[in-house]
Amino acid sequence: MLQLSGVVIRAQKNGEMDYDDLESVIVLQRGRPAIFFLNIGTTMTEAVDKIDEIKRIIRKYAIKNYYIHCDAAFLGAFAPFVNQGPNFDFSHGVDSIAISGHKFIGGPIPCGIVLVKRNHRNRIANSVSYVDTMDTTITSSRNGLTPLFLWYSIEKHGIDGLRKRALAAQELAKYTEHHLKEIGCNAWRNKEGLTVVFDCP
């Protein structure tokens, strides 16, 4: 959409970004603005890219113009309910966050939520005369039923219910990892994650 070139950064064995590789790319591109696209819970291993490391590299190379987006599709709705969840919110210097509503929250159809700082949102806002309001979406149209589904799911469970579901899911993942190891499978997971990784049978 933006007609920009992207650079793929290598990943560590656990799926997390390789920060040394990021630094080597930054050294070559340090005079250019940067968009950092971080994963907060990758699809295959639930790895989390560390914002503190990204910010350290930004400071080290004095990058002035940058934007940090966090793809927290899976963990975004889950992380607030567990101890020692990943740091990925606006207070940590993030500019936008994407969260899926059909994963942990349990919306019945695929959907997502994008949270963005107001100053970025205001840059794309356009007045729509026929509804007499400002539109802040890229496509200028969205499904009005999906937010109702999400509202219903959140209301149905409540904050305490979502917290209980999160803790129960963590216990199930811990149980699964333990019992797979017991029968000889090479099972592991990233820091209290829900995704249990094991070798292909």
What is the distance between the alpha carbons of residues 121 and 20, in angstroms, rounded to a whole number?
32
Label residue 121 by pLDDT band (50, 70, 90). Answer: confident
pLDDT in tens, 48-84: 999 999 999 999 999 999 999 999 998 989 888 888 7
Could you state, in order of their start, the residue ranges of all structural domains in the chain?
19-146
The strands making up 112-116's β-sheet, listed across from edge to edge, are 34-39, 66-71, 96-100, 112-116
Q: CATH number of the domain at 19-146, please?
A: 3.40.640.10
- pLDDT for res 201: 84
Q: Mean pLDDT, to the nearest integer, of 181-200?
A: 93
Instruction: Report the predicted TM-score, pTM, of the whole model to 2 decimal places.
Output: 0.87
